[in-house]
Structure 1
Amino acid sequence: MVSIISAIIVLGVLIFVHELGHFLFAKLFGVGVEKFSLGFGTKVVGFKRGETEYLISAFPLGGYVKMVGEGGDVELSEEEKARSFAAKPPLQRIAIVAAGPVFNLLFAWIAFIAVFMIGVPSVTTKIGEVVKDKPAAQAGIKAEDVVTAINGRSVDRWDEFAKEIAEGAGKPVSVQVKRGDAVHSFTMTPETRTAKNLFGENVTTPVIGVVAAGDVVIDRFGPVDALLKGSVQSWNVVKLTVLSLVKLVERTVPLDTVGGPIMIAKMAGQQAAAGGASFIAFMALLSVNLGILNLLPVPILDGGHLFFFFIELVTGRPVSQKTREVAQQVGLVLLVGLMLLAFYNDIARYFVGQG
């Protein structure tokens, strides 16, 4: 039940943010908005304010903003035509459509900044295990030692320590540790280890043969540091998301890693149980994914519409209605296929046990 409620909150917030981008920019450019809906299909609840009806609809995996002139063959008055989406110049239509994905990316950026201000868990440099016959053991490092510096640079978090080893490219390193009240220095040459990275590819990295004790502290940052770290984290997640899509197309990442609403619900429940910062970070991660996916030049997605508008901007004339209709049908088939794949993977992963 917690997972379902958490998933509803996550999807509701992200869909609202996305549609709010379209809505605000439509209003900015004088486009009439008839409906603002969270969800598709049958109206569950709603109210009307001004010309806009605000709805929550039955099918929660999406939402829409219906602007004047969109859908149906209703005859428009001259005033309505002037306030329709189609009557606006290409640059304004591009801004309205792009605002949805951009708002998702902005939401993720703000969320990551908030996470760093709330506090993020970090592993200290206390060593829990020294692997026998590896460089660290041969040099004399012991379990319970706390790494304080590497190559003269102070470190107090495990990720900093691991990064220094990895960036050393296998060259000899000097490791300073605190053992009780004493400080000791050791010099060793890392050995290489081949392991699979996040995408299942074999990568070779230098290691010295130590395992973190797993002591965790919560690091909280002031607004300026949180802004910097949140910005870096946002950019890193954007790059990782784009790279993941490329790897998926290349089939480096298998298709069975694609997840759907069941996986989102399960992960949302886990992150909610882990605490507020984890839950917000999970929303930020999904928001980046939603923003990037919607910018793909696939008909029916925002990116597909943007593609046609850019063609119009360059050529000076809109893409023909017939071409757009065919493209929309192709895009719908691709989108339905992706959704079916996600549902299949979810069922195999959580109910059949094949994932």
Structure 2
Amino acid sequence: MPKTFVIPRAAETLLRRQAGLLSTVQCEELGISREVRRRLVGQVRWTSPARGVYDSDPVPLGSRVRNDWFDHSARWRTWFALLVHGPDAVATGCCALVLHGVSGLPRDSPLEVAREDRSPRRTRHGVAVVDYATFPTVRIGDRSVARIDHAAAQALRRLPRQNALAVLDDLARRHGFTPTRLAELHDLVRRRHGSAQLHELFGLVDPRSESVAESAARLSFHDNGVPPDDLQVRIMTGGKVVARVDFVWRLPDGRWLVVEIDGVGPHSTEQALVRDAPRQNQLLAAGQMIMLRFRPVENDRPGGIGAQVAKVLARHRWQPGRYAAAGTPVNLPTPAPIPAPS
């Protein structure tokens, strides 16, 4: 009967940090011998996605069922990139942003590393080795990682526009990128070839955006000439906050157009959508709101969500730049009670 191998406790922390991956060198240091590794792979308890790399979860990455799958996938791909190229690989670009905890990247973000000695190496398993000019690094765990501003400058030009804006929004929202730091990042970006499409995005950064879907929707509104009058707006009635909505436009007749992006953040579960229904009814009961709801996938259509919203706003003769109360709650009149049947 084959022996059952128990993972050493010393490996557990490393496995958690590296999304379940270990390198051959790390296994040897932890006392997981070559014979044991071969047995684990033979028993389909582990897999070896590349030479010198072991995965302690035998389920293929794309088939794993986890609440944090997107975050897990990003970390798995990043650590795979680093382990494939050895202990002196430096995380750069999107890989560095993942280790810094920056969100907004696409699920298939480019994988790249640099070498501490800047020696040329071939692309392996889809992981490119890049040779950037000298850039500052920090240590995250036992790894050298491009400093967050340089990592962003390396990554942004290779991202779709909506993801580039989402990354910038997240830097401003959670990573302390003030307008001054964003301007410094913009200067770093200007020096890189292929960055022309990024310049306008710096003027659209808003730390109130909470997801890629919201950033992408806001970019679509901008592209279609209908930037929202405000976002993440508190709606009040009877002196109480009854909702917070994603985007609003103040219409000339005094009403509001509200747009909500479903399937992300607080709207991400079926239970949340059920809870949203009475809230939506309460908002509409006052007769002061027109509400549109979209799924993120609708932004992939020609013109995106912005084109659909632009048609509605055109019918109501909305014009940009006429709302001066951004950042303040919207107060709705309390709906009159429905008289009881006689």
Compute the TM-score of the two structures, normalised by the length of structure 2: 0.21
Structure with bigger helix share is 1
Compute the TM-score of the two structures, normalised by the length of structure 1: 0.20
Structure with bigger strand share is 1
